[in-house]
Chain A
Amino acid sequence: MTNSASKLGAADSPQYKASQSTWNAIAESQEFKDLMATKRAFIVPAFVFFVLYYVALPVLVGYAPQFMSIKVGAVNLAYLFALSQFFVAWIIAGLYVKAANAFDRLANDIVNKAHDAQGGK
């Protein structure tokens, strides 16, 4: 972007422009609906699970400190539960990356189709 006095609004992205009806057509296409359904099927449960699993930590630590102080080996329940948060977060991130490969394939098809419809690129 070296042209002077260039429009800088994000909506004027030089990479792909289309009319509102084109955007609507893409948004209502079966491919796009499949992409959104696939994403939703992973992201919604993953998000809800991680928030609940995380919030359980301060709730238990705050309201049941005696229970969380029960010794397990050299440490206690509170520390183990806190430590488990790290591994659960890493596992969810790993699963997401795996699931996202499928999102990428679906998204690429939509992008290619859109470029083709504008006479290729």
Chain B
Amino acid sequence: MSTSLLMFLLFIAVTLGITYWASKRSSGAAAYFAAGRQIKGWQNGIAVAGDYMSAASFLGIAGLIAFFGYDGFMYSVGFLVAYLTVLLLIAEPLRNAGKYTMADVLAYRLQPRPVRAMAAISTLTVSTFYMIAQMVGAGALVALLLKDSGISFHAAVIGVGILMIVYVVFGGMLATTWVQIIKAILLMSGTFLLSILVMAHFNFSLGDFFASVSTVTYHDHGQVVVKDFLQPGLRFKPPYGALDLISLGLALIFGTAGLPHILVRFYTVPDAKTARSSVVWAMVLIGVFYILTTFLGFGAATIVGRDYISSHGGTNMSAPLLAQSLAGNIFFAFISAIAFATILAVVAGLTISATTSFAHDFWTNVIHNGVERKQGEEVLVARISAFVVGAASIAIAVALGPTANVAFLVGLAFAVAASANLPVIVLSIFWRRFNTAGAVAGLEVGLLGSIGLILVSPSLMAVYPPSVVGAARHLIQAKALVPLENPGLVSIPLGFIGAILGTLLSNEKTSEDKFNELLVRSNTGLGSEKASSH
């Protein structure tokens, strides 16, 4: 048995142990959906970091920097700065006024049924897109990392899917939280170790390190090229590169505060003050991690090199290959196991946010008018929907196959979160005149606008020569109608305009009358949900 497989199995054993422990402890809806609101600030901070730093960050950004230098680092910056939006505008009002989902906050002053129905659709869309991207990536990655053990793409996808279903169905939010905490600690340790090894390679001289980064040599179309990897512009090129970069930045800093799997984490702490401290904890971890991507990415570019990475699995393998070249197969196995843990923690977080929204917003509040007919029905529905969500993502990921071009789905998830969810949350907390028609219009325009713009963008439209076959081909073989890969620059204003126009074109006195209640609740914490006592 390979070392990688052994480490994978160890991680699986520990997390299943936690799930068993959590399943014994948790009873009732607040326990299942919000871990009884008893998670401590630092714990939730680490869990937010574990929920957020996906394989796309760990492997994807290391790869982007290894291949495109500075432009890859631009992602790192946005991923941290985004938490200021969460901290300043969203986390505390949400914790004060809500119960399990973002729609709780909207439903205070707006008509609950249409608003919750649209919010649930938006939440499920964001979570599903994000999840499919993770699952396809996970399958390809696990199959690659465990190549020697003979595990196929399909077996890997099914394995990841089943584990995620087990965590969420049996362990609920409590198990998910601890899986995320363990993963974050593993990820941080691995990143620190890798960074120290990179610096050791350069005799702990930052000067030598950056000197090497400014003269990276590789082959491009058979030609030897030497590039300064600290120089911007290797990925985002004229004429539209600059706009795309701005568009990406906006989607990151406004989208994070609208990602359902991040928002639900703030309901797991006792009060708004703890929610605040957990954001700060998360910012410390996330910031340190993304600064260290400097060493991971540039280290892979200089020590391993683009040529070698291209012929050994491609961009996503940059960090594991760096580990292998610096400290051999054991370290490669360790970093691979971390990547695996990373994927599992994120998909578990996505599943629980999707199922919470379905059970709480859609089933209980839209279909049954806010009344739970039998005790425990909401949790039961959530468990069933976790099973369905898991099975559906396994099926979609298997159908798409390992070469599917799904990276754009992560961008789409951020774009929808920024263009549909964020405007509506912000306006409902801060704008007295805001009403139901505005919320529904904002969610619809933001959602459809983002999806529509991505459909006609270079992510889905490109002309390939006939030699490129199968799923690696772009879906639509025609010239892109919109030059931007990232729709945020257009779709975020569209979401706001939709919400504002929808409001101004309609009249709803009750939503204005009830604004004061939401204003007081969200700003003072009066009447906020308390931690359950044992």
- Chain A residues engaging chain B, CB cutoff 8 angstroms: 1-13, 15-18, 20, 23-24, 26-28, 32, 35-36, 39, 43, 46-47, 50-51, 54-55, 57-59, 61-63, 65, 68-69, 73-76, 78-79, 82-83, 85-86, 89-90, 92-94, 96-97, 100, 104, 107, 110-111, 114
Q: How far is the CA of A41 from the CA of B108 in the complex (A)?
A: 26
Nearest B residue to A82 by beta-carbon distance?
Answer: B77
Q: How far is the CA of A89 from the CA of B74 in the complex (A)?
A: 15
B99 and A61 contacting across the interface, CB-CB below 8 Å: no
A9 and B280 contacting across the interface, CB-CB below 8 Å: no
Does B236 sit at the interface, judged by CB under 8 A? yes
Q: How far is the CA of A23 from the CA of B520 in the complex (A)?
A: 7
With A5-B374, A97-B277: A62-B77 Cβ-Cβ less than 8 Å: no
With A39-B523, A85-B81: A58-B248 Cβ-Cβ less than 8 Å: yes
B283 and A89 contacting across the interface, CB-CB below 8 Å: yes
Query: Taking each of A7, A10, A93, A96, which has the highest tally of chain B beta carbons within 10 Å of its own beta carbon?
Result: A10
Which B residues touch A13, using CB under 8 A?
99, 527-529
A47 and B89 contacting across the interface, CB-CB below 8 Å: yes
Taking the closest CB of chain B, its distance from the CB of A51, in whole angstroms, is: 7
Which B residues touch A114, using CB under 8 A?
526
Q: How far is the CA of A9 from the CA of B107 in the complex (A)?
A: 8
Does B148 sit at the interface, judged by CB under 8 A? no
What bracket does the count of chain B residues touching chain A fall in?
A: 35 or more
Does B365 sit at the interface, judged by CB under 8 A? yes
Which B residues touch A69, using CB under 8 A?
228, 230-232
Q: Which residue from A5, A9, A39, A58 sits with its C-beta under 8 Å from B74?
A: A58
Taking the closest CB of chain B, its distance from the CB of A60, in whole angstroms, is: 9
- Which residues 239-289 in B have Cβ within 8 Å of A in the complex? 241-243, 245-246, 248-250, 253, 273, 276-277, 279-280, 283-284, 287
Q: Which residue from A23, A47, A73, A78 sits with its C-beta under 8 Å from B70?
A: A78
What would 22 A/B residue contacts be, using CB atoms closer than 8 Å? Answer: A5-B374, A6-B372, A8-B370, A9-B370, A10-B107, A12-B370, A15-B530, A23-B517, A24-B516, A27-B520, A32-B524, A35-B524, A55-B250, A57-B249, A59-B242, A68-B232, A76-B231, A79-B73, A85-B81, A90-B283, A90-B284, A93-B84
